[in-house]
Amino acid sequence: MKRFVLGILCCMYIPALFAQSATEIPGDYVYNQKNTPQGVDNYLFSTYYYNGKKAYNLRSLPLSTARGEVVSLKINPSGTSFALLARKGDNTLVSIHDLWIANRTLHEFKEVKNPSALCYTPDAKSLMIATPEEVLYFDARNYTLSDRMPMPFVAGKMVVSGNGYYLAATDGTRLTVWNMEQKSIRKEFEFDEPVNDMAFSADNGTFAVLTADGLLSTYDTRDFLILQSFDALGTASSCSFHPDGKYLSVVTGNTRIALLNLMDEQERSYVDNEDGSISDARFLCDGKKQIFLAYNTASSITYKLMSALAPNYTKLLAEELNERMNDWMKMMPGETLEEYQHRVNDETRAAQMRLFEQEIATRLADNLVAMSEVTLGSFNPESNLLEVNFNNMPTIYLNVPISDVNDFMDPGNLEFRNAKYGLTKQDKFELIYADVYNKASGKTYVFDNLDRQSLAYLQSDDNFVPLELVQQSNMEELKLREIKEKIVSLAKQEKTISDHTQISVDAGIVSDQDADGKKIMNYKINFAYEVENGFSAQEDFAPGKYKIEDSGAAQSMLAIIKTAFETDFAQYIRPGKKLQIRINGMADGLPVNGRIAYDGSYGEFVEEPVYKNDDLNNITVTKNEGITQNEQLAFLRAVGVREYIDGNIPSINTMNTNYRYNIEVTEGKGGKFRRITVEFVFVDAF
């Protein structure tokens, strides 16, 4: 358990943890190193590197010594260990080392001959090692061989997409992308120059390839057709996507990193460091959700705060727009089917989407026109259009009678009232409506471009869910609510819960794509509950409790799940089809005093991969050590849900099911922070 706590501390805020070893300048944290970092990798927000035969942490402390010169270092995504690929003469060797205990070698793959590249799968379940003939899959915890895939060349570099769909490998000028599920080739490339680096975006929708001629090319992962090309990038030694996908960093030389705006190809900025020897730069997010650019120099690891980079407003708008539209398209309480079909149709949906889009963009713009420097340009006497320029937005053209032109001598007299904004494809705000009041004449002129089509791409077929499927989902959600009401009513009669417990159910359809790039529709069903303050100890988990039978609210919610999948929703349980189950276990901030006994009823867990606040970590719970941390309580509450599903809904075991545990520990104290929620995603359900 100590490793889990240390891992969380490290990822929360590195500058605070290592303040004594860092030199702070505005926006930067510089960690001086005794050795030049030759190659790096990171676990969450912490950076590790190698030099010669040794691997080091951010404090410049040696972690391990390999048998030869290290040529690649990969951190296990769960934070337990790291893999080294080392070369001694003509031989190469892969070894695994403890990330938290120095000089502790966990395993050596002596049976693997001539390994050339390695990488972990994003879920930390497998370590992949390339050999001249194939890629070998090893279990990342017990190092047993679990799978293999033929490799047509000797790969010098490999990378896996965050969703586990794609493996990309290159031997230099050749690059191949595989569908990892089918072990089939998705795309083959042949480049004129060697591939120096490649990366998948955080949303897995874009693939970037960086070649030695200073060219960066991006590809859409639906079809792996080219999207953009950026040239004049110098040595082009490494690249990294910003988490929101708007920017991409490229190391262009020993002293310079370029920051490319993928949504506006004209925008390119630079980070310079005269210390030199920059070979790797990557965007990292700290525990406060701040984005840094971490890069190596001849004598340091530097973290540069990227606060000057503009947010991906289009992504923010699209996320909120989808959420609001999903709520709007649900059938309202008391609404008849006829009333619903009249309110929600293709025409009204498009109109409502445009209205929400304008509202969201206007809020995000934060009255941008008030901060703009306004100038007046040309006037067209035939169309009566006056050019109005802004220093932070595109130009607009205001309809002004020729007789009023003399009133527009001073742009400072113009007030833009009731302003509404939109976003361009370049992720720039533009004014789409304003009542323009001229103080010189007392007249108001209306600028109206509300019907513009610049955001039509948000409604593209790739993200749209057919209306008939939305309506089907709404009908099924009504059935789900009926099941809930029956279970809740029975639970209240049996005094398992009372009116102080509220259980919620939600169903919806989400557009997605599979590993072959085909558009699919996933069916998502959510189950959650809340218990009012003062009643949690009676109806939910009391302090230190974690078993499902300890919570009447949890038992009632799980009874709803069982009934739903045995009746109306059994149609979605199809043997062999993919099902993703995300279980969120929560614990409050009340400290665990001493040690809570654990009887092992859910099994024992050693360095079990688990997500904490959506970051992959690991956790250990054993009978011998018991429970000493709130993270363990949250985890066991989540595990209890899986035990219930496995034992009470056996048909789900026939599916290709992937469980994901997410634990959350809040600062607040009390029963309302000791809940569990469950999300089922039936992949390609329709």
Asked if the model's pLDDT at residue 3 lies above 70, the reply is no
Per-residue pLDDT for 456 more than 80? no
Continuous segment of H or E residues that includes residue 325: helix 313-328
Q: In the predicted model, is pLDDT for residue 588 greater than 90?
A: no
Range of 469-478, 496-505, 642-651 with top mean pLDDT: 642-651
What pLDDT, on the 0 to 100 scale, is given for residue 672?
A: 72
pLDDT at 475 exceeding the cut of 90:
no
Torsions phi, psi of 432, nearest 5?
-115, -15
pLDDT at 425 over 60: yes
Percent of the chain surpassing pLDDT 70? 94
Least confident of 225-239, 322-336, 347-361, 467-481: 467-481
Two tokens, residue 505: 């159910």
Q: For all residues of the chain together, what is the average pLDDT?
A: 91
**pLDDT value, residue 19:** 44
Which two three-digit tokens encode residue 440? 């010189």
Higher pLDDT, 672 or 651: 651
Residue 22 confidence (pLDDT): 60
Which band of pLDDT confidence, cut at 50, 70 and 90, is reported for residue 389? very high
Tokens at residue 496, please?
A: 């398992």
Would the pLDDT of 1 be above 50? no
Both tokens of 61, joined, read 């402390």
For the cut 80, the answer to whether the pLDDT of residue 24 exceeds it is no
More confident residue, 9 or 442: 442
- Residue of 605, 596, 588 lying closest to 659 (CA atoms): 605
Q: Is the pLDDT of residue 667 over 90?
A: no
What DSSP designation does 517 have? S
Q: Check whether 11 has a pLDDT greater than 80.
A: no
Indicate if the pLDDT at residue 677 is higher than 70.
yes
Question: Is residue 664 classed as helix, strand or coil in its secondary structure?
Answer: strand
Chain segment 322-362, per-residue pLDDT in tens: 999 989 998 888 888 889 989 999 899 989 999 999 999 99
Distance from C-alpha of 595 to C-alpha of 529, rounded to nearest angstrom: 28
Lowest model confidence (mean pLDDT) among 356-360, 421-425, 531-535, 540-544: 531-535
Region of poorest pLDDT, from 67-71, 161-165, 475-479, 534-538: 534-538
Is the distance from CB of 464 to CB of 349 less than 8 angstroms?
A: no
pLDDT of the residue at 27: 65
Confidence band (pLDDT; 50, 70, 90) for 73?
Answer: very high
| CB neighbours of residue 210 within 10 Å | 25
Paired with 420 in beta bridges are: 433
Name the percent of the chain lying above pLDDT 90.
79
Please report which confidence band the pLDDT of residue 23 belongs to, taking 50, 70 and 90 as the band edges. Answer: low
- pLDDT for res 543: 87
Please measure the distance between the N-terminal and C-terminal CA atoms of the chain and give it in whole angstroms.
43
pLDDT at 6 over 60: no
Give me the mean pLDDT over the 543-557 stretch: 92
Q: According to the model, what pLDDT value does residue 542 have?
A: 87
Domain ranges of the chain: 357-459, 465-682
Q: What is the pLDDT of residues 570-586, one digit of tens each?
A: 999 999 999 999 999 99
> Can you tell me the mean pLDDT for 109-115?
95
- Which amino acid type is present at position 393? M
What pLDDT score was predicted for residue 149?
94
Q: How confident is the model at residue 7 (pLDDT cuts 50, 70, 90)?
A: very low
pLDDT, mean of residues 281-301: 94
Question: What pLDDT, on a 0 to 100 scale, did the predictor assign at position 17?
Answer: 45
CB contact at 8 A, 77 and 118: no
Which of 436-440, 533-537, 561-565 is the least confident region?
Answer: 533-537
Q: Per-residue pLDDT averaged across 15-30, rounded? A: 60
31-35, 50-54, 415-419, 479-483: the lowest-pLDDT one: 479-483
Tell whether the model's pLDDT for residue 458 goes beyond 60.
Answer: no
* pLDDT for 647: 94
What does the DSSP assignment read for 21-87?
GEEEETTEEEEE-SS---EEEEETTEEEEEETTEEE-TTS-EEEE-SSEEEEEEE-TTSSEEEEEEE
Asked if pLDDT for residue 537 goes beyond 80, the answer is no
| DSSP character string of 477-489 | HHHHHHHHHHHHH
Do 116 and 99 meet the contact criterion of CB atoms below 8 Å apart? no
| pLDDT-based confidence at residue 476 (cuts at 50, 70, 90) | confident
